[in-house]
């Protein structure tokens, strides 16, 4: 019996060692171009239409989208505002971003407001845990900050259950010490 078990172990080791061949694959290239496609531009009147490459590209990171798709120097030349601050507002079907650039083309401050934004996973779970049986009917995302940073952000969420309605303000936590988010009723 000992010989049979030893034989089975040796054979399984041989087959396992033999199946460990490395398969060499050919090299492939994966390209992703995150910037949008400019559909129409009229910098003199301050109109630029950009087509997003994927759904909610602008909304997911509005500040980066502006940096990638907006030619500030060309806008200054064609609008005649060579000196001073420039205020721009970029809108989409789900919201807007307002930004202020100084005379050196540095971003000074931003303000964003979007509606029907998917809540972050942890925040959404915290809302569902605190409001069991409630349904999120709509929400708003509001954020502002200096330079490219988002210093303050909040979600205004509208909840509904039976004939009752609630409106809550959610402020995501900036550190893991304070929890996921602060939820306040309006």
Contact yes or no for 120/172 (Cβ under 8 A): yes
Q: How far, rounded to the nearest angstrom, does the alpha carbon of residue 30 sit from its chain's CA centroid?
A: 22
pLDDT at position 110 is 92
pLDDT in tens, 33-81: 545 666 666 666 666 666 776 777 777 888 888 887 777 887 777 777 7
């Amino acid at each position: 019996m000992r010989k049979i078990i030893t034989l089975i172990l040796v054979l399984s080791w041989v087959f396992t060692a033999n199946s460990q061949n490395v398969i060499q694959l050919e090299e492939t290239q994966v390209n992703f171009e995150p910037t949008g496609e400019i559909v129409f531009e009229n910098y003199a009147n301050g109109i630029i239409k950009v087509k997003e490459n994927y759904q909610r590209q602008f909304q997911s990171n509005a500040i980066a989208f502006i940096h990638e798709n907006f030619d500030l120097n060309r806008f200054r030349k064609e609008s005649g505002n060579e000196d001073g601050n420039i205020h721009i507002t970029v809108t989409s079907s789900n919201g807007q971003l307002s930004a202020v650039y100084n005379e050196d083309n540095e971003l000074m401050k931003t303000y964003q407001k979007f509606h029907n934004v998917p809540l972050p996973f942890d925040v959404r779970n915290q809302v569902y845990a605190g409001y069991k049986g409630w349904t999120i009917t709509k929400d708003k995302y509001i954020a502002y900050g200096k330079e490219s940073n988002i210093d303050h952000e909040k979600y205004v969420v509208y909840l509904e259950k039976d004939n009752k309605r609630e409106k809550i303000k959610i402020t995501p936590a900036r550190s893991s010490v304070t929890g996921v988010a602060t939820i306040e009723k309006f």
